Structure 1
Amino acid sequence: MKSSVTICLMPELKGAPFIFWNGLEDGMQKAEELGYDAVELFPASAEAFDDKLVGSLLKKHKLELSTVGSGGGWALRKLSLTSPDAENRRKAEEFIKGIIQKAAGLGASTILGSMQGKWGDGVSRETALEWLGESLVRLGDYAQTQGKPLFYEPLNRYETNLLNKLVQTVAFLETCGAKNVRILADLFHMNIEETTIHGAIRDAGKWIGHVHFADSNRRPAGLGHMDYMPIVSALNEIGYTGYLSAEVFPYPDSLEAAQRTINSFRKYVLKKGD
């Protein structure tokens, strides 16, 4: 498994659970200095994502790009795959496709989280899930043409009322036929929704494509009550070799949050240090 740390490129979202906020150069330099393998980026849009600059900085700082988030589509434009408005849903798909193309060009997958939306406002759960499934098939197929899987993130009940648990999401993906979509297992969301995190990881198995490495309070690993030993054991059992990416609050500050996270990664994953 490899380590990754988040860099948010949307100053409007200050206060959200991302570690670095002072731009690409600053975030990547610190990630390199701390010994991270990769960074996870959250741009405002595909148009705002300077892939040439990102590529050159990745090379300069000897980093990989683990993933790129699409949440700017919801946070800044209120685009959703389950919106009651058909034009909004169409724009949401196009927005995500743009991110997929830019991310894949740098060897990374795209995350679909908040843009999944929720049911309500005149839309039944059945209809919302039907729209979501159709979009995931199309977006997964498009991601396949770009050579990467799409990562779908089940969120906790306070953020969506669609899919909250890993096995529930596996069943949905199998039913809707989204063959090139894998699950992002976020430990913070799982701590709220799953009976046991390690059990859910084992049950989801090969469907897990990415992991958000957070503690129970969404602070850096080691600052909550999360028990990481069984979680890492479960990931090893299912043969997971992807990234553990720190999507957490920059507590007490960005640098300390990044340092605590990489320390925990070395302790629990690499089995080095205390």
Structure 2
Amino acid sequence: MKSCITISLVEEARGGPFVLWDGLEKSIAFAGELGYDAVEIFAPSVESLNLDSLGNLLDGAGVRLAALGTGAGWVKHRLQLADADAKKRSDARAFVRTIIDAAGGFGAMAIIGSMQGRSDAEVDSKTALGYLAEALEDGGQHASQYNVPLIYEPLNRYETNQCCTVAQGVELLQSLSTSNVRLLCDLFHMGIEETDIADALTHGGDLVGHIHFVDSNRRPVGCGHMQYGRIIEALRAIDYQGYLCAEAFPWPDPHEAARQTMRAFRYWTQTD
């Protein structure tokens, strides 16, 4: 398993569960100094990133790009994949494809979380889930040209009413014609929705493509009450070799949150 840390460039999301906020140059350099294998970036749009400069920064720090998030599509641009309006759904899928293209050039994944949307008075639950499935089909097929999967994240009930558990995510992915979509299993969301996190990861099996490594209170690992022994055992049992990525509140501050996560990562993966 490999280490990863989140960097947010989206001011509208300030205060959210992203560890580093001090711009790409300083954040990537700091991640490299701490020994992180990779970073996950939450950017306002592809246009806001200078991809050549990003590549130079990553190379200089000796870290990889693990993934780009699509969340700004919702947080900043108010685009979501289950919108009642067909034009807005189309715009949302197009936004996702731009993120896939940018990430794919680095051999990295794109993540769909908050952009999945939800059912409401205008869109019933079956229709909303169908719209999401269509978007995952589109994105998964688009990502295949880069030999990376599209990553889909079930969220807790307070953030979506689409898929909230790993089992629901597995069912959705197995209904698709594309096999190029994997699950992001976020330990914070799982702590709310799953009866047993380790069992849920085991059920996810080879569909588990990315992990958000965080504690029960969304603070860095070791700053809450989550029990990690069986979680790590389950990940080893399914032969998970991807990233454990810190998507956590920058508590008590970004630099200490990054250091604490690395300490926890090394502790829990020391026999790797």
Asked if TM exceeds 0.5, the reply is: yes
Tell me the equivalent position of 1:61. Answer: 61
Deviation at 1:10? 1.2
* Paired residues of 1:69 and 1:110 also in contact (CA < 8 A): yes
Write the distance in 1 (CA, Å) between the matches of 2:118 and 2:53.
Answer: 35
Q: In the alignment, which residue of structure 1 is the partner of 2:146?
A: 146
Distance in 1 of aligned mates of 2:12 and 2:172: 33
Which amino acid letter does the alignment assign opposite residue 114 of structure 1? S
Is the partner of 1:110 in helix, strand or coil? strand
Please say if residues 107 and 146 of structure 2, whose CA atoms lie closer than 8 Å, have aligned partners that are also in contact. no
TM-score by length of 2: 0.98
Gap regions ≥5 residues in structure 1: none
Give the secondary-structure state (helix, strand or coil) at the position aligned to 1:81.
coil
Is 1:170 the counterpart of 2:170? The answer is yes
The percent of aligned pairs where both chains have the same amino acid is 47
Task: Tell me the alpha carbon deviations over residues 72-129 of structure 1, each in whole angstroms, 9 at most, x when there is no partner.
Answer: 1000011010011111100000000000000010110000000000000311001111
Matched, 1:110 2:102: no
Alignment of 1:164-203 (within 5 A): 164-203=164-203
Q: How far has the Cα of 1:220 moved from its partner?
A: 0.1
Q: What residue number does 1:101 align with?
A: 101
CA distance in 1 between counterparts of 2:271 and 2:260 reads 15
Tell me the residue number matched to 1:39: 39
Name structure 2 gaps, 5 residues minimum.
none
On the 8 A contact 1:84/1:121 being kept in 2, the answer is no
Q: How many residues align?
A: 272
Helix, strand or coil: the match of 2:12? helix
Of the structure 1 ranges 252-261 and 11-20, higher mean CA displacement relative to structure 2 is found in: 11-20
| 1:11 and 1:21 in contact (8 A); partners too | no
How far did 1:147 drift? Answer: 2.0
Aligned to 1:238: 238
With 28-37 and 263-272 compared, the bigger mean Cα shift is at 263-272
The amino acid across from 1:155 in the alignment is L
Q: CA–CA distance in 1 between the matches of 2:132 and 2:31?
A: 35
The CA distance in 2 between the partners of 1:70 and 1:161, in whole Å, is 18
SS in 1 for 2:47: coil
Q: Give the deviation of 1:271 after TM superposition.
A: 4.7
Once residues 203 and 81 of structure 1 are traced to their aligned partners in structure 2, the CA distance between those partners, rounded to angstroms, is: 26
Q: What amino acid is aligned across from residue 98 of structure 2 in structure 1?
A: G
Aligned to 2:258: 258
TM-score (norm 1): 0.97
Distance in 1 between residues matched to 2:270 and 2:87, nearest whole Å: 47
- What RMSD over aligned residues (CA atoms) do the two structures have, in Å? 1.0
Runs of 4+ that moved beyond 2 A: none
Paired AA for residue 29 in structure 2: Q
Q: Which residue does 1:219 correspond to in 2?
A: 219
CA distance in 2, matches of 1:36, 1:161: 34
Aligned to 1:26: 26
1:89 aligns to 2:92 (yes or no)? no
Q: Which residue of 2 is the match for residue 72 of structure 1?
A: 72
Counterpart of 2:210, as a letter, is H
Q: Which moved more, 1:127-136 or 1:155-164?
A: 127-136
Whole-angstrom distance in 2 between the partners of 1:119 and 1:107: 33
